[in-house]
Chain A
Amino acid sequence: AQSVTQPDIHITVSEGASLELRCNYSYGATPYLFWYVQSPGQGLQLLLKYFSGDTLVQGIKGFEAEFKRSQSSFNLRKPSVHWSDAAEYFCAVDAIQGAQKLVFGQGTRLTINP
């Protein structure tokens, strides 16, 4: 069965600094990969997704992620964070076969220092 690991439970960065959130997946083939963001008490919003092709994908709000098959990783990056980026971020994987079921990582809570 596929699984997703987000090694960092909580990350703090200063406003204007660069950001990288880590995501590792376990799956026998190339999965479909997603990053979602959740503001406190709210639902999840899709930031970006990877299915195939170019391994560097661009998303909303200035985020990007790079798929690295050799490392089974799909890390999320942003060159310069804004205070409004403070939220919880979830990496998710969907198996290619069978029903569409997202498997989520534990989430990374991002705090922005002014």
Chain B
Amino acid sequence: DGGITQSPKYLFRKEGQNVTLSCEQNLNHDAMYWYRQDPGQGLRLIYYSQIVNDFQKGDIAEGYSVSREKKESFPLTVTSAQKNPTAFYLCASSTGARPPNTEAFFGQGTRLTVV
């Protein structure tokens, strides 16, 4: 079945360590996104990529990094520079075409806890 796979579902890391969250899609989508979700704040865009080997900062990119070496994959690294990394992280993808021919599909999320 086509979809977006995020792994792992739960992740624990010590403060000061970098950690990489995986996002893979087999929908043949050009565009991929990373969102951060905190209680009461909705979803905030971290980074997005519209095409392989290209990506742009979203609203809260500080302390995060991404790569887009393959169309199917868009890993997110949470660096030690991120002041408050504990959150629920959601990956999404879309065809990248303009509406009405597109919608964003979301993965099941990764809950990162930094202790």
Interface set of A (CB-CB < 8 Å, partner B): 4, 6, 9, 32, 34, 36, 41-46, 49, 51-52, 90, 94, 96, 99-107
Contacts and interface: CB of A to CB of B under 8 A. Distances in A.
Contacts of A32: 99-100
A101 B58 contact: yes
Interface residues of B, number: 31
B99 A51 contact: yes
Interface in B91-115: 92, 94, 96, 98-100, 102-109, 111
B42 A105 contact: yes
B42 A43 contact: no
B40 A100 contact: no
Nearest to B98: A100
Contacts of A41: 109, 111
Interface in B16-66: 31, 33, 35, 40-45, 48, 50, 56, 58
A104 B43 contact: yes
B75 to A, nearest CB: 17
A103 B43 CA distance: 8
Q: Interface of chain B, helix or strand or loop or mixed?
A: strand
B78 interface: no
A46 B105 CA distance: 8
B109 A43 contact: yes
Given A41-B109, A43-B109, A90 B43 contact: yes
Contacts of B76: none
B99 A44 contact: no
